[in-house]
Structure 1
Amino acid sequence: MATMLRLMWHIHVNKESLWIKWIHNAYLRNDDIWHVQAKNWDSWIWKKILKVRDKAVNFCGVVPWHRTIWETTNFPSHSFICWLAIQDRLLTIDRLIKRGLMNTNNCCLCTGSENRNHLFFECCYSREVWLKIMGWLRFKWQSCNWNQLVIWYSERLKGDGFNQRIKRMALTTTIYSIWRERNFRIFKQKARSADQLSKDIKLCIYSFVLNGSFKAEDRELIISL
């Protein structure tokens, strides 16, 4: 069971190995390890992996934000930071104070107090970054409220189309980038403007799409934005 779960994780993050790449090419061309269904002609080992997958899902359950955070288009490191953030497990200053490790709470991005909801995306700095990204991707609805965004993504942005996948990627990349910017300012005394950070986020998404295995019309769409 442990071995199968380990294989599932390697498949999910598309670990650099010949067998994992073969699995993606043979079984996961238009799907992911969490949603693909076994077919009669699939190999014995693949069917066993999917049976273990189903047991794990039934035991642990699937949260509403699962697809948003673990979208296969997302960078694994971005998904991991977002997974910690959505469970409020990142070591923001308010949590460090509760552990007795700090005495004062000052957001390094603005003049407020740092907690998860403030840092993503209520802080004036992160709000400016996120609104620039939402405007770039032509969101019809805009919000900088953490809870509203999680609910909206989980309930209204669940499709498999390119637009939906890129918007999920934009969320996780932005959260990761804001957290990284926060750490750079605290530990390295380096800072970027909101405009520069938003440009870096766009460049990250541009590079992924233009160098990835996306359709020609998808590449044209991202270039047109």
Structure 2
Amino acid sequence: MEFCFNLKEYLVHPVNKELLWIKWIHDNYLKNRDVLTVNAIASNSWLWKQMLKIRDKAMTLIGGIDNLEHIIGSCYKNSKVKTSALYVALSPASLKVPWFNTIWERMNYPKNSIISWLAVQNRLLTQDMLLRMGTVFTNSCCLCSGAASESCDHLFFEFEFSKIVWNKIMKWIQFRWLSCVWNCLLEWYITSLRGKRFKQRIKRMAFNASLYRIWNERNARIFLQKSKGAD
């Protein structure tokens, strides 16, 4: 979005008007029109159309061209738009989701948190999800040799393989919470494990690492035809 607004600054700045790509945009797209009012036509490039869509979305969010220009003007510093200030001005305020601290624990490896973030929103491409999308036509969990359908609920902590992984990790870190239903375990983490003490952070890290390793094992079996035991 900031690229679109910075583009306006470049297009109208007298020093920049001599640049070749600025001339090309004026000749092919703007033709003496303003970047905040010009409409896309069928022959325009995909990138230009996307930029204008972002512009229109920002106008809808803010309430028109005048408000948008006022906000852009308020975000100038030393004759340049300050991108961070513009982002704050255009981003609606939002509350943290209840699972934020569990998933985005600072001790986690980022790749572990990403998988957990997808899982907690039911956005991991498990076979039940792929089946609904029409990408696959059968649903068979590779961790239990096809004995059940694959879903987040089945894959994490409920199936025997996952239970063994989780329970052994819990025993290793001397944590008494054993394997159970995925949603119940997540709810317990959210409501009862919110502290900042080292042991609590380790337990959150164990949760995310377990999700990541189980998902990794699932992918290795499907795509590489390789498998490891729970140990």
TM-score norm. by structure 1 comes to: 0.61
4+ residue runs of structure 1 moved beyond 4 angstroms? none
Residue 134 (structure 1) shift? 1.2
Give the aligned partner of residue 179 of structure 2. Answer: 143
In structure 1, what residue type is equivalent to 2:212?
Y
Contact 2:161 2:230 in 1 (8 A): yes
Shift of residue 123, structure 1, vs aligned partner: 1.2
Equivalent in the alignment of 2:30 = none
Correspondences of 1:10-89 after superposition (within 5 Å) = 59-89=93-123
User: How many Å separate the matches in 2 of 1:126 and 1:72?
Assistant: 24
Counterpart among 117, 138, 153 of residue 104 in structure 1: 138
Residue 63 of structure 1 aligns to a residue whose secondary structure is coil
Fraction of identical pairs, as percent = 51
**CA distance in 2 between partners of 1:167 and 1:2 (Å):** 39
- Alpha-carbon distance in 1 for matches of 2:204, 2:127: 27
Deviates more, 1:118-127 or 1:80-89: 118-127
Give the C-alpha shift of residue 93 in structure 1: 0.3
**Partner residue, 1:155:** 191
Q: Which of 121, 124, 136 is the equivalent residue of 2:157?
A: 121
| 2-structure distance, mates of 1:132, 1:178 | 13
Higher mean C-alpha displacement, 96-105 vs 163-172: 96-105
Q: Which letter does structure 2 place at the counterpart of 1:194? A: A
Per the alignment, in what secondary structure is the counterpart of residue 109 of structure 1? helix
- Alpha-carbon distance between aligned partners in 2 of 1:143 and 1:194, rounded to the nearest angstrom: 14
- Deviation at 1:2? 6.4
- Report the counterpart of residue 32 of structure 2 in structure 1: none
Alignment of 1:157-172 (within 5 A): 157-172=193-208
Per-residue CA distance 1:5-43 (angstroms, 9 max, x = gap): xxxxxxxxxxxxxxxxxxxxxxxxxxxxxxxxxxxxxxx
Aligned-residue CA RMSD (Å): 2.5
Determine if the alignment matches structure 1 residue 130 to structure 2 residue 169.
no
Aligned to 1:189: 225
Q: Counterparts of 1:84 and 1:70 in 2: how far apart (Å)? A: 12
Q: 2:126 aligns with which of 86, 92, 98?
A: 92
**Matches of 2:153 and 2:102, distance apart in 1:** 18
Corresponding residue number in structure 2 for 1:42: none
- Deviation, 1:159, is 1.0
2:166 touches 2:178 (CA, 8 Å); kept in 1? no
- 1:206 maps to none
Alpha-carbon shift at residue 188 of structure 1 (Å): 0.3
- Separation (CA, whole Å) in 1 of partners of 2:126 and 2:176: 31
CA displacement 1:36-58 (0-9 Å, x = unmatched): xxxxxxxxxxxxx79x88x96x7
Indicate the larger mover: 67-76 or 98-107: 98-107
